[in-house]
């Protein structure tokens, strides 16, 4: 799928197909794009801009998500966003504090003892107060939805594969854990069912023991078998790194990542001291990168069909970066419209640059290749994951998509 563009023969230009052939985009590109949108959202409380960002994210997701299970998670993030907004507004109503002059309605106030001075329950509800909550909530919700967009567009497993070599072990254990989890669920079901055959002696701790011991035994056996299988297939073949290198790698990566976190905080929080911002971010990034490079040097391993950065990926990541950068630019030049005034209340307005910034985020919806749909690939079997339980699924016939699942 990544090799869809035939290498040009001498004397012939490589024919660019349009629309591009369907292929999954590098997950990293989607993440950069989504983070760009999220950063942009963090720089404004203008509901119009935030709504635009939401619309852009949702549109791109609808146009470019595949049909894998994680692609359906976007709806969940939208619900989460709505929940965040509702909570924010509700809190403003409950602990309103009564700022603002435009009183909409008055709720009976609950008197509190002296000790809780400064906290007010209910009372007058002002438009400023509600709007403030709404704007805040909307900003947070938009950022969450942006992350959700990345989650539903990018294949999490391919993302793990794209991890730098030094983090390979971490990625491998996550992948293994992901595959083992359904097996564990399956053995719990199987054992619970089998226990009924012994008259399901007792409940509570006794029953728990009857379930946990066979399940643990199963899990232990499986992990030993897996370890042996991985070793005989060459896993850890080049892990002959001396402990010192490992220590250096670990320290560098962790210190670097802490630096990156601090730096991000500095960049995103406008009130933070300037030294805590970009310099710390860049410094941390550099240290972490050095750690990954040191760690990566000892790795001799290749990747099967790695995702490559092609023009479409660059464009997607670039679109996200452009949105964030333009928004930052506006924040420096013309901040009024990014933070619409609450007192006096004013109708939020849009200016050209932020609108262009947000629209830049829409480009991937049109300029990237479509994701491959499994309908186009030969009869893909439904993933029977959870339904493979059944009376004997653990041992012999853990086989065809079984028809004997759980009660």
Partner 1 sequence: MITFEDVSFRYEEDGPAALAGVDLHIPEGELCLVTGHTGTGKSTLLGAVNGLVPRFTGGHLRGRVTVAGQGTESRPPQEFAHLVGRVGQDPLAGFVTDNVEEELAYGMEQLAVRPEVMRKRVEETLDLLGIAELRGRALRSLSGGQQQRVAIGSVLTTHPSVLVLDEPTSALDPTAAEDVLSAVLRLVHDLGVTVLIAEHRMERVLQYADRLLYLPGDGSVRDGTPAALMPDCAVAPPVVQLGRAAGWSPLPLSVRDARRRAAGLRQRLADLAPGPAHPGDAGPGPAAAGDPHRTPIGEPLLTARSITVTYGATVAVRRVDLRLAAGEVTALMGRNGSGKSSLLWALQGSGPRRAGTVEVAGGDPGDLPAAEARALVGLVPQTAADLLYLQTVDEECAQADAESAVASGSCRELLDELAPGIEGASHPRDLSEGQQLALVLAIQLTAAPRVMLLDEPTRGLDYAAKRRFGAIVRRLAAEGRSVVIATHDVEFVAAVADRVVVMADGETVADGATPDVVCSSPAFAPQVAKVLSPLPWLTPDQVARALTAEGADPAAPLRHEAAPR
350 to 389, contacts with partner 1 by CB under 8 A? 374, 377-385, 387-388
Assign residue 381 a region (left: φ > 0; alpha: ψ between -120 and 50; beta: otherwise).
beta
Residue 6 is a binding residue for partner 1 (CB under 8 A): no
Residue 392 is a binding residue for partner 1 (CB under 8 A): yes
Q: Which two tokens stand for residue 365?
A: 């919806």
Distance separating alpha carbons of residues 323 and 142, to the nearest angstrom: 14
Q: List binders of partner 1 among 19-48 (CB under 8 A).
A: none
Q: List binders of partner 1 among 151-180 (CB under 8 A).
A: 157, 172, 175-176, 178-179
Residue 120 is a binding residue for partner 1 (CB under 8 A): no
Sole binder of partner 1 in the list 5, 63, 120, 195 (CB under 8 A): 195
Q: List binders of partner 1 among 231-270 (CB under 8 A).
A: 231-238
Sole binder of partner 1 in the list 8, 19, 182, 335 (CB under 8 A): 182
Residue 203 is a binding residue for partner 1 (CB under 8 A): no
Which residues have CB under 8 Å from 345's CB, separation 6+? 102, 127, 128, 131
Residue 73 is a binding residue for partner 1 (CB under 8 A): no
Sole binder of partner 1 in the list 171, 183, 246, 345 (CB under 8 A): 183
Distance separating alpha carbons of residues 241 and 233, to the nearest angstrom: 19
Q: Which uninterrupted H or E stretch holds 38?
A: helix 27-42
Assign residue 136 a region (left: φ > 0; alpha: ψ between -120 and 50; beta: otherwise).
alpha
Tell me the closest approach of the beta carbon of residue 51 to partner 1, in angstroms: 38
- Give the chain's length: 407
Sole binder of partner 1 in the list 121, 194, 257, 272 (CB under 8 A): 194
- Of 70, 58, 57, nearest to 24 by C-alpha is 70
Residue 395 is a binding residue for partner 1 (CB under 8 A): yes
Residue 209 is a binding residue for partner 1 (CB under 8 A): yes
Q: Which uninterrupted H or E stretch holds 48?
A: helix 47-64
| Interface segment toward partner 1; rule CB under 8 A; list 301-309, 329-337, 339-347, 354-362 | 301-309
């Amino acid at each position: 799928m990544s090799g869809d563009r035939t290498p040009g023969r001498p004397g012939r230009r490589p024919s660019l197909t349009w629309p591009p052939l369907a292929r999954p985009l590098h997950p990293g590109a989607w993440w950069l794009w989504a983070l760009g949108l999220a950063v942009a959202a963090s720089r404004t409380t203008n509901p119009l801009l935030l709504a635009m960002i939401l619309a852009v994210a949702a549109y791109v997701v609808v146009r470019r998500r595949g049909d894998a299970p994680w692609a359906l998670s976007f709806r969940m993030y939208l619900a989460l966003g709505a929940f965040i907004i509702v909570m924010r507004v509700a809190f403003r109503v409950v602990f309103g504090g009564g700022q603002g002059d435009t009183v909409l309605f008055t709720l009976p106030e609950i008197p509190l003892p002296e000790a809780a001075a400064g906290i007010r329950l209910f009372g007058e509800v002002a438009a400023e107060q509600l709007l403030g909550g709404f704007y805040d909530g909307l900003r947070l919700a938009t950022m969450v939805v942006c992350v959700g967009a990345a989650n539903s567009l990018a294949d999490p497993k391919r993302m793990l594969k794209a991890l730098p070599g030094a983090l390979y072990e971490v990625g491998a254990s996550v992948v293994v854990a992901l595959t083992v989890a359904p097996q564990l669920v399956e053995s719990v079901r199987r054992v619970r069912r089998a226990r009924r055959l012994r008259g399901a002696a007792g409940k509570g701790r006794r029953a728990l023991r009857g379930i946990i011991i066979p399940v643990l035994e199963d899990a232990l056996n499986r992990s030993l078998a897996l370890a042996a299988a991985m070793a005989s297939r060459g896993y850890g073949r080049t892990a002959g790194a001396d402990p010192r290198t490992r220590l250096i790698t670990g320290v560098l990566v962790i210190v670097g990542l802490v630096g990156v976190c601090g730096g991000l905080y500095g960049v995103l929080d406008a009130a933070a001291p300037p030294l805590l911002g970009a310099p710390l971010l860049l410094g941390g990034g550099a240290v972490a990168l050095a750690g990954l490079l040191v760690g990566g040097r000892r790795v001799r391993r290749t990747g099967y069909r790695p995702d490559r950065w092609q023009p479409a990926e660059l464009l997607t990541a670039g679109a996200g970066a452009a949105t964030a950068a333009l928004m930052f630019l506006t924040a420096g030049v013309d901040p009024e419209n990014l933070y619409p005034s609450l007192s006096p209340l004013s109708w939020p307005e849009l200016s050209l640059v932020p609108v262009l910034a947000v629209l830049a985020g829409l480009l991937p919806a049109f300029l990237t290749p479509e994701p491959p749909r499994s309908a186009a690939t030969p009869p893909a079997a439904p993933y029977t994951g959870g339904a493979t339980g059944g009376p004997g699924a653990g041992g012999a016939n853990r086989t065809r998509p079984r028809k004997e699942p759980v009660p």
